Amino acid sequence: TKHLLGIKDLTTRDIELIFETADTFKDVLNRPIKKVPSLRDITIANIFFENSTRTRLSFELAQKRLSADTVNFAASSSSVSKGETLIDTVNNILSMKVDMVVMRHPYAGAGIFLSKHVNAQIVNAGDGAHEHPTQALLDAFSIREKYGEVRGKKIAIIGDVLHSRVALSNILCLQKLGAEVMVCGPSTLIPKYIGTLGVKIEHDLLKALNWCDVANMLRIQLERQDIKYFPSLREYSMMYGLNKQILNSLDKEITVMHPGPINRGVEITSDVADSKQSIILDQVENGVAIRMAVLYLLANQRNQ
Ligand code: CP
């Protein structure tokens, strides 16, 4: 496809091709010279209307490793605060001869909207509580790296599914790769649409952990929550927080993931986040290779 707006638009073969390309780029990233000239004729604008550490730096590093020219735009320091619209903002950036736009935005569907109104390739770096496709790709790639394949693996996505864009993208990606997926959390944090996706739903943390091979612990999204519908943070961490005692009580060794940023002591304790069972920093490392693969494959689609 011309854009990467969501995992929804990718076939299983598209995802496998991204992984095979990321394998090659991961080798490149382990060499003394980590740079290839593949995108030296491409200019990419990273436009972030929401805060980010991992995704923004990971995309920028991926672009630099591919020799693309990059410009960075943070809405908070831009003329968006003077009332400029999304389309005007992006068209002004594109007038400066930009080929691709990587965008994070608080509204679901912002990337889809933009792709219909501007003449550039759009990569969704997270749109509201909708999709975060490169996060799901790097998560599934990390599971494949750990176990050799994703097919047949049992993945529990645990926590604030309601406000999460990581959850939907992960569910779609893992199902396309043949994994079994469960979501687990209090019913107030499990959205109704989840019931239509063919995933298991569990409200008991221990049952979910005993079922899964991999637990992907989601962050409680304090910035999106309406507090009156929530368990308090204390109640949440007592019922759904993963600590070392719980992990050690399971009769098998599961793998722990987290997309970051972590609320240490809420959804996961430090002794779990920093344990040998955690692949959290492997996820971050793999993010650069995955984003290199996505940008490289999209650039090859430009003139087709
Ligand atoms: N996982 C993730 O999207 O992190 P950031 O919000 O820091 O980009």
Separation CA 20–CA 293 (nearest Å) = 9
275 and 291 share one domain? no
Give the pLDDT confidence of 246-281 residue by residue, as tens digits.
Answer: 999 999 999 999 999 999 999 999 999 999 999 999
The answer to whether the annotation marks 82 as part of a ligand binding site is: yes
Residue in 189, 191, 209 with CA at minimum distance from that of residue 268: 209
102 and 13 share one domain? yes
Q: What three-state secondary structure class fits 54?
A: helix
Give the pLDDT confidence of 166-194 residue by residue, as tens digits.
Answer: 999 999 999 999 999 999 999 999 999 99
- Residue 250's CB: how many other CB atoms inside 10 A? 13
- Please indicate, yes or no, if residue 140 is contained in any of the structural domains: yes
177 and 96 share one domain? no
The reply to whether ligand 1 has any atom less than 6 angstroms from the CB of 52 is: yes
144 and 93 share one domain? no
- Please indicate, yes or no, if residue 2 is contained in any of the structural domains: no
Scan for tokens 């409200």, then name that residue: 203
Backbone angles phi, psi at 59, to 5 degrees: -65, -45
> Residue 264 sits in a domain of what CATH number?
3.40.50.1370
Alpha carbon of 13 to ligand 1 centroid (Å): 26
The reply to whether ligand 1 has any atom less than 6 angstroms from the CB of 55 is: yes
Q: Give the pair of three-digit tokens for residue 94.
A: 């594109």
pTM: 0.96
Instruction: State ipTM.
Output: 0.96
13 and 114 share one domain? yes
137 and 270 share one domain? yes
Those residues whose C-beta lies under 8 Å from the C-beta of residue 233, and which sit 6 or more positions away, are 220, 266
